[in-house]
Chain A
Amino acid sequence: MAKKGDWVRIYNIVLKSSERAPQVPDDTKKVPLEMWDKGFLINENAEIGDQVEVETYIGRRIKGQLLEIDPYYTHSYGKSVPELLYIGRQLRGILEGGEDNE
């Protein structure tokens, strides 16, 4: 349950699939144009999935479906990419003259 003033993430459909611009490729035309934004909840209380109103960080009021309370970033440095590991050793080898590449 979100309370008034909570920092939340909301969601909206901007254009339905049928309303999309004519120049859009077919695969994109099949799906709606969606948007996400964040703000402080204006409603007294709300559950995930409710239509709510928020005040964005710069003070704009917008409406949308409540998606997350206290949203946070989960992006990272990714998983191990062993394919990259040869590069540094190879280059150091070449610079030190250890490989016959000339």
Chain B
Amino acid sequence: MNKDMSYKSVMERKNEIMKKAVGIDYEAFETKGIRFDYNDMMHKTGYDLSEIQRTQKETGIGNTPLLELKNITKLARKFAPEGKGARIFIKDEASNPSGSYKARRAATSVYHAKKNGYKGVIAATSGNYGAAVASQAAMLGLKCIIVQECYDSRGVGQPEIVEKARKCEAYGAEVLQLTVGPELFYTFLKLLEETGYFNASLYTPFGIAGVETLGYEIAMQFRELEGRDPDVVVATNAGGGNLTGTARGLIKAGADNVEIIGASVNLKGLHMASDTQFNKKSFTTGHTGFGIPFATWPDRSDVPRSAARPLRYMDRYVTVNQGEVFYITEALAQVEGLERGPAGNTSLAAAFSIAQELDEDKIIVVQETEYTGAGKHIQPQLSFAKDNGVDIKIGDPKDEVAGENIILPKDPSFIKVDDLDLEKIKKSYIKNCLKNNEDIEITEKDIEFLAEDTKSSKEFVISMIEKLKDN
């Protein structure tokens, strides 16, 4: 093999490499213009819910406990107006084999890879997904490579990411670690080409369909426990797959009236590809650095069309600050007896605040937890922050400046979500669609697609397009 391995040349072979490594012909769902047939892609390339449930059961995934957080609810009520303070529940996804809901996301990809004769799987991830792919690969007897963005140019790695590397290696995976930069994708492509392994991308229909069981289970467990569906589900939002899969699962269960809220950690001002800012952030996932770009342009992912399309399902999008998430993580351990990793508790911090807006008889669900341990715990993350010049203070989290300080709330009344302007995010998604299809005339069908893809109306899309033309 004497192929040109330069950056430019490998990137130019992207489509050819991906086609072999994903095994999906995305062009089958494309038409000229902005739209593509999302539902057809999910339907034809994925698996149906019952098959996914069956295969996930075989590898010990799912049926995780649904726990009512009675003390946290009681706390929320202390700070809520009279009669307010919804009951807060948590879906304990840390009980999955790899320690997070990501086991669901990995399961279908790895199962599909095995079924189609791939010898191994590769995923590019610094988060829980790596451990999930490695764990599933170990169960099904496939080889596994995880590619991580792990270190800055001083060779300093965030304790959380280093822990994930350890966990992947514990499952027999090879972990290739890199310094900061988007060229991780180049290394990823080279590996796919060299090994012929399956691209266990987070963004294929397999990855998203795997999460549908989570939404489905939430509905089923509530019907058994409370005789009804929950009112609100809060999902931590990064690349959008967690929220998309959960919402789709709820819809498949017929739970159509559940409000779906996305929650991210506010990391405003930190550049995700910056070497010097890399170790200034204490959240490697679940933050706005992924949440916003992936919501406004889902197809920026490592497959031609992302199956994670959060705007399709999201009713509200809120942010919380790092200090609030660390505080609520400590609260979960101290008053509920559940020691879990902070990243997954982003939505718990949001739920604590949102519950205070809702009546006491309402039900709000935090749809995931994640495992914790050395490196991946509030203590190492905060002591690492201090070592990297970030001040830890106790005060009003509203004064937090990402990269400069982390402000732990003075008391629980200081935990307050910030609402993002969802309309603005939808507008910016529509703007990106227009920008990437400049030479194409927008048809009625495109407008219908955009309305669906932004959970809005044709009128909304048309008015946004007109506004964008005026600017």
Contacts and interface: CB of A to CB of B under 8 A. Distances in A.
Interface of A: 14-15, 19-21, 23-25, 27-28, 30-39, 56-60, 73, 75-81, 83-84, 86-88, 90-92, 94-95, 101-102
B335 A91 contact: yes
Contacts of A57: 169, 172-174
Contacts of B71: 95
Interface string B193-228: 011000000000000000000000000000000000
Contacts of A25: 271, 273-275
Interface in B153-212: 153, 155, 159, 162-163, 166, 169, 172-183, 186-187, 194-195
A59 B153 CA distance: 28
Given A14-B183, A95-B71, A31 B153 contact: yes
A83 B176 contact: no
Given A14-B187, A73-B162, A95-B335, A27 B176 contact: no
B383 A81 contact: yes
B382 interface: yes
A77 B151 contact: no
A75 B153 CA distance: 18
Interface residues of B, number: 67
B79 A101 contact: yes
Nearest to B335: A91
A24 B7 CA distance: 13
A42 to B, nearest CB: 15
B411 interface: yes
A58 B174 contact: yes
Interface string B257-276: 00000000000000101111
B334 interface: yes
Given A34-B178, A57-B174, A84 B183 contact: no
B334 A92 contact: yes
A91 B413 contact: no
A33 B392 CA distance: 31
A95 to B, nearest CB: 6
Interface of B: 6-7, 71, 74-75, 78-79, 120, 143-145, 150-151, 153, 155, 159, 162-163, 166, 169, 172-183, 186-187, 194-195, 271, 273-277, 326-327, 330-331, 333-335, 374-375, 377-384, 386, 392-394, 408, 411-413
A39 B180 CA distance: 23
24 contacts: A23-B273, A25-B273, A28-B274, A31-B179, A33-B179, A35-B177, A36-B177, A37-B174, A38-B175, A57-B169, A58-B144, A58-B172, A59-B143, A60-B194, A75-B380, A76-B374, A76-B375, A77-B379, A78-B380, A78-B381, A84-B408, A87-B327, A92-B334, A94-B411
Contacts of B162: 73, 75
Of listed B6, B177, B386, residue having the most chain A CB within 10 A: B177
B330 A83 contact: no
A30 B386 CA distance: 25
A59 to B, nearest CB: 7
A35 B153 CA distance: 11
Contacts of A86: 394
A87 B411 CA distance: 8
B181 A20 contact: yes
Contact of B382 (A38, A83, A94): A83
Given A34-B151, A83-B382, A95 B408 contact: no
Nearest to A97: B78
A24 B273 contact: yes
B383 A58 contact: no
B147 to A, nearest CB: 9
B347 to A, nearest CB: 19
A75 B374 contact: yes
A81 B151 CA distance: 23
Contacts of A15: 7, 183, 186
A84 B379 contact: yes
A95 B74 contact: yes
Contact of A28 (B155, B273, B382): B273
A20 B183 contact: yes
A23 B374 CA distance: 34
Given A20-B181, A84-B330, A87-B408, A37 B273 contact: no
B106 to A, nearest CB: 17
Given A24-B181, A58-B120, A35 B380 contact: no
B5 to A, nearest CB: 10
A27 B392 CA distance: 26
A79 B377 CA distance: 12
Given A78-B384, A79-B386, A91-B331, 17 more contacts: A25-B274, A28-B180, A33-B181, A34-B179, A35-B178, A35-B187, A36-B177, A36-B178, A58-B120, A60-B194, A60-B195, A75-B163, A77-B379, A84-B408, A92-B335, A94-B78, A101-B79
A66 B393 CA distance: 42
Contacts of A78: 159, 377, 379-384
A81 B177 contact: no
Contacts of B412: 91, 94
B330 A87 contact: yes
Given A60-B195, A83-B394, A95 B179 contact: no
Contact of B153 (A19, A34, A95): A34
